[in-house]
Structure 1
Amino acid sequence: MSYEINLPNQEGKVTTYKLNEQKDFQLPEKPFQSRIAYAAAHVVFNPYSDIANKDSSSVDWEKTIEFRKYLWSLGYKIAEAMDTAQRGMGLDWELSKELIKRSLQESKITGGGVACGAGTDHLIEDKVYSLDEIIEAYLEQTTYIEKYDGEIILMASRALAKAAKSPEDYIYVYRKVLEQVEKPVILHWLGDMFDPKLANYWGYEDLDSAMDTCLMVIQNNTNKVNGIKLSLLDKDKEISMRNILPSTVKMYTGDDFNYPELIQGDKDNFSHALLGIFDPIAPIAAYALAKLDENDMEGYKAILEPTVPLARHIFQTPTFHYKTGVVFLAYLNGHQNHFRMVNGAENNRSIVHLSELFKLADQAGVLINQKLAIQRMNQVLLLSGVYEEETVTAF
């Protein structure tokens, strides 16, 4: 059976889009073998909560944990309380603590892997702190995660970006923090396209010079660094950096534009993955990674490369609004029964953007149930005033 839907375009016209025929694919039956794959997962807003509410009641914890169990079932590890979960953009440290605790407790039951974001986001945003105060802030969060036996992703710090006067300041802060963590961490270099307040991180605007500082931090602390997640949307910079990492340190791509090529690499030089795009494309990406485990490179590319136009659309400028597209696809695919977000972030993309996202999701094969997706897309279109209620047909 084929389906059609009427969608608006940039010219303000509504045209008919015919959906592709759905293809069946086999989900992996065991964890990924050739690559480590973390999916940075979103949180599900409680639709009965006011968007201004910042306490625990603003999150639908049951649906949020249910989605993590779904990702674990596909073979992923979870990158918890990261920017995909609206960390620092609606999800504060107090809510992050509860999310981390609940995820780690559930992981002990299911056996799923979790690494949790530790940063300094409980500090006052506009205040300038000393380096030692920033170190203490980092350690407050790393200690909390370690209390629940969690692995750590050491996130970039807005406070450090504001306070640092030289590359040496970054080297000092990271050394002091890494000295006190119990297990090796994943560092996270988040580019300013994801968070403008992280501009000039590592002490330089120039990425090559910034990379030198980051590499010095890694080389000085190799026993405490599992790997680094690079989120610069620059594949050449990532390849250059992974070529010179110490042999014990992994590269985790955070490049939501070029991930198929970077993950594939070759047998001796490739990136593992820690990606926000794995949240909305989870089943199809799991299928592709299973092909990679079988050394079926053509099958891997044929499955994963069609998702790139969708990813580039979701992460288009302003990139930090990508969370809206992630949650929208979770809604279309039935992982939650509403399109509401923490802090009202569902309003950060236009109805034309969401309509194009719908088409690209269909073309990438990530709409799990086309009939449901059409019904839900029509509800959003109706509420957006694209057409009158009597003109809506679901299929």
Structure 2
Amino acid sequence: MTTILLPKQGGSLEPYKLVDAASAYPTEGTFRTRTAYSAAHVVADARASAHPILGGAIDWEATLAYRKSLWKLGFGVAEAMDTAQRGMGLTWDMAKELISISAQEAKKENALLASGAGTDHLESDKEYTLAEIKRAYEEQTTFVEGAGSRIILMASRALAASARSAADYKDVYGHVLKGVNKPVILHWLGPMFDPKLTGYWGTETINAAMDACLELIHQNETKIDGIKISLLDKDKEIEMRAKLPASVRMYTGDDFNYPELIQGDGERYSHALLGIFDAIAPAASEALRALDADDIEGYREIFDKTVPLARHIFETPTYAYKTGVVFLAYLNGYQSHFRMIGGAEGARSVLHLSELFRLADQAGVLVDPNLAVQRMQLVLKLAGIEQQVTT
């Protein structure tokens, strides 16, 4: 078995012995009982001259290759979302190219794709009229549908900064929904993922916000495929799920409690649109196929092992989770480097990344443990941590 020295609190090093078993999860799959989207990260172009702090550049070939691997595993791809650093490195201009490229490939593959449409091309930290916000939404929804993708109607920072009541949200969303051609997925993103969305739906009280959102959904049922909520509160998701119209799906965005929420309670269950699926895609594919086969024990055995890893990746500050997702993609050989647009590879400490390594091993999601050890060793060395690997 392989042992690597990893840092711990206080600065000392401790030996960690790997489980030493390469991931045995599949590279292909399909699902029958749940619709599951994986929000997908982008791969930075580490050789580009563009400065990462100014956004950097994207390696389009590697980025598309990862999406192909997700489709092959049975997932739909949720494109240009917060996992792709939307609004935190990924600009609308970059997102347009990303959506176009993914849509073209999804058509070839007959694969499921839904892409984020919001208002992030508006200047930040500025108030707008509701009419301006409507036009901004319309610009992006028109582009996404024109590219051939389904729409995920993203939360709007501009609306959060400009709205004065729940009625303003109802006005904007109602107008935008009238103009779309196919049902959309709404996205309620909690402030732990984006602090600028505090008070969304016109109130900071979660129950009042839920009521406002549900009223909008019931009034526009035919225009809504489902809603993804990212609140990290399973009880609120279960409560809201029970109040949705029968035709509207709940897509869990709860990266802490997804096994229970996707499994359901015998009467209702959640579908999935999760950032953690980017990091644990082969395991998640196997778990969902076990669920299809009514193998609940197998489903929970696979998924429950991944929960400690997910909770670590999404720990406070939650919005920095993209760093862990990309780090695991690097460890697993899906990309050749650990660089990110916006320079976001520096958003987590080496201690955090070391614990992520341990938990990924224990979850059984390291595709090639030997490669993962080699790459972990390089990351530690770059942080000034000299250590040895023994076999």
Find the aligned partners of 1:22 and 1:35 in 2 and give their Cα distance: 29
Find runs of 4+ consecutive structure 1 residues off by over 6 angstroms.
none
Partner of 1:151: 150
Q: Give the 3-state SS of the residue equivalent to 1:268 in structure 2.
A: coil
CA contact (8 A) 2:187 2:228 kept: yes
Q: Deviations over 1:249-271 (max 9, x none)?
A: 00000000000000001343000
Find the aligned partners of 1:365 and 1:122 in 2 and give their Cα distance: 40
1:54 CA drift (Å): 4.0
Find the aligned partners of 1:308 and 1:30 in 2 and give their Cα distance: 21
CA contact (8 A) 1:71 1:78 kept: yes
1:53 CA drift (Å): 4.8
Q: Deviations over 1:185-238 (max 9, x none)?
A: 000000000000000000111100000000011011001000000100000000
Find the aligned partners of 1:79 and 1:342 in 2 and give their Cα distance: 19
CA contact (8 A) 2:27 2:282 kept: no
- Of the three residues 368, 389, 393, the one matched with 2:389 is 393
Check if 1:32 corresponds to 2:31.
Answer: yes
Partner of 2:62: 63
Partner of 1:311: 310
CA contact (8 A) 2:128 2:158 kept: yes
Q: Which runs of 5+ in 2 are unaligned?
A: none
For residues 43-122 of structure 1, the aligned pairs below 5 Å read: 43-49=42-48, 50-54=51-55, 58-122=57-121
Q: Give the 3-state SS of the residue equivalent to 2:251 in structure 1.
A: strand
Find the aligned partners of 2:115 and 2:143 in 1 and give their Cα distance: 10
1:127 CA drift (Å): 1.5
Find the aligned partners of 2:318 and 2:125 in 1 and give their Cα distance: 23
CA contact (8 A) 2:214 2:244 kept: yes
1:10 CA drift (Å): 1.2
Partner of 1:20: 19
Find the aligned partners of 2:10 and 2:363 in 1 and give their Cα distance: 24
CA gap of 1:379–1:29, structure 2 versus 1, over 3 A, is closer
Partner of 1:243: 242
Find the aligned partners of 2:154 and 2:13 in 1 and give their Cα distance: 43
Q: Give the 3-state SS of the residue equivalent to 2:107 in structure 1.
A: helix
Q: Deviations over 1:137-196 (max 9, x none)?
A: 000000001112210000000000000000000000000000000000000000000000
Find the aligned partners of 1:23 and 1:289 in 2 and give their Cα distance: 20
The count of aligned residue pairs is 389
Partner of 1:274: 273
1:300 CA drift (Å): 0.3
Give the partner amino acid of 2:315. Answer: Q
Partner of 1:302: 301
Give the partner amino acid of 2:177. Answer: L
CA contact (8 A) 2:234 2:254 kept: yes
Find the aligned partners of 1:197 and 1:249 in 2 and give their Cα distance: 27
- Report the aligned-residue RMSD: 1.2
Find the aligned partners of 2:94 and 2:342 in 1 and give their Cα distance: 13
Find the aligned partners of 2:335 and 2:199 in 1 and give their Cα distance: 37
CA gap of 1:279–1:29, structure 2 versus 1, over 3 A, is closer
CA contact (8 A) 1:374 1:394 kept: no
1:28 CA drift (Å): 7.2
Q: Give the 3-state SS of the residue equivalent to 2:173 in structure 1.
A: helix
Q: Give the 3-state SS of the residue equivalent to 2:137 in structure 1.
A: helix
1:393 CA drift (Å): 3.1
CA contact (8 A) 1:135 1:177 kept: yes
Q: Deviations over 1:316-350 (max 9, x none)?
A: 00000000000000000000000000010000000
Q: Give the 3-state SS of the residue equivalent to 2:228 in structure 1.
A: strand
Q: Give the 3-state SS of the residue equivalent to 1:279 in structure 2.
A: helix
Partner of 1:164: 163
1:25 CA drift (Å): 3.5
Find the aligned partners of 1:221 and 1:51 in 2 and give their Cα distance: 41
Find the aligned partners of 1:377 and 1:359 in 2 and give their Cα distance: 11
CA contact (8 A) 1:28 1:290 kept: no
Q: Deviations over 1:280-316 (max 9, x none)?
A: 1000111111100000001100010010000000000
Q: Give the 3-state SS of the residue equivalent to 2:14 in structure 1.
A: strand
Partner of 1:334: 333
Q: Which is bigger in relative contact order (C-alpha 8 A, separation at least 6)? A: 2
Q: Deviations over 1:61-89 (max 9, x none)?
A: 00000000000111000000000000000
Partner of 1:4: 3
Q: Give the 3-state SS of the residue equivalent to 1:112 in structure 2.
A: coil
Partner of 1:127: 126
Give the partner amino acid of 2:389. Answer: T
Q: Deviations over 1:78-114 (max 9, x none)?
A: 0000000000000010000000000000111112110
Find the aligned partners of 2:183 and 2:74 in 1 and give their Cα distance: 22
For residues 200-211 of structure 1, the aligned pairs below 5 Å read: 200-211=199-210
Report the TM-score when normalising by structure 2: 0.98
CA contact (8 A) 2:20 2:369 kept: no
Report the TM-score when normalising by structure 1: 0.97
Find the aligned partners of 1:120 and 1:372 in 2 and give their Cα distance: 40
Give the partner amino acid of 2:161. Answer: K
Q: Give the 3-state SS of the residue equivalent to 1:122 in structure 2.
A: coil
Partner of 1:175: 174
CA contact (8 A) 1:222 1:249 kept: yes
1:392 CA drift (Å): 3.5
CA contact (8 A) 1:375 1:394 kept: no
Find the aligned partners of 1:26 and 1:155 in 2 and give their Cα distance: 32
1:27 CA drift (Å): 2.2
Identity over aligned pairs, percent = 59
Q: Deviations over 1:15-34 (max 9, x none)?
A: 00001142664527542001
